Amino acid sequence: DSLPICEQSMDASCETGARQHYAFKSMWAFNSPPPPAPVPPRPAGPSHPPPPPVEKLPPPSPDVEELREKAEASRDALINTIMDPKAKKKAGILADAALTGVMVTKIEVLATAENGDLACNFVLQSSGIDARLAVCEAAMATSVSRRLLSVPNFIFDIDLITSVASVTREDIETAIVKLISSGLSPTMSE
């Protein structure tokens, strides 16, 4: 029984001032691995039937519609616990945005009016956004008295909160343009 012999040769030359030449030669012998052991035959007959084929079923996928319905029911239950109408509306807008996976849009602007409700009405009317689809929050910024009239006007920081879940992106951009054309200086953030 002879062993296989393998041979490998390699020539290399290096130049470092004077030219040098090297030759390498390797030889080796190896034993072949033993052949694999034979697999014993399976006994045939009724006492040893072949195993059934294994079927891998995909994991059950959650019913998206069912999950959405559960999320909406949870949202409705939460909103129904809120008594303040403005807070309830804001919670609804925020929850709808979360359920649809969109960002909430906040438009900030300064407006002058006798009170916060009038300032919000002015900003909503100027923006063209339907009051049912946005929440308007007014906080008094500073007080200014008008000299010609005895009714004081106040400057309010107005936040209009909405999302593309209820108002289209184009409508939000149009609202910004309308507010600017009304003489206001809105800023938008998400």
Task: List, run by run, the mean pLDDT of 10-residue segments along the chain (190 residues).
Answer: 52 51 50 67 62 68 78 87 90 88 91 92 94 92 54 85 88 93 90
> How high is the pLDDT of residue 54?
67
Rg of the chain over CA atoms, in angstroms?
40
Helix boundaries (H) for the chain: 64-80, 85-100, 116-127, 169-181
Domain ranges of the chain: 63-101, 102-189
pLDDT at 51: 66
Domain 102-189: assigned CATH number: 3.30.70.2750
Are 94 and 170 spatial neighbours (Cβ–Cβ below 8 Å)?
no
- CB of 75 closer than 8 Å to CB of 95: yes
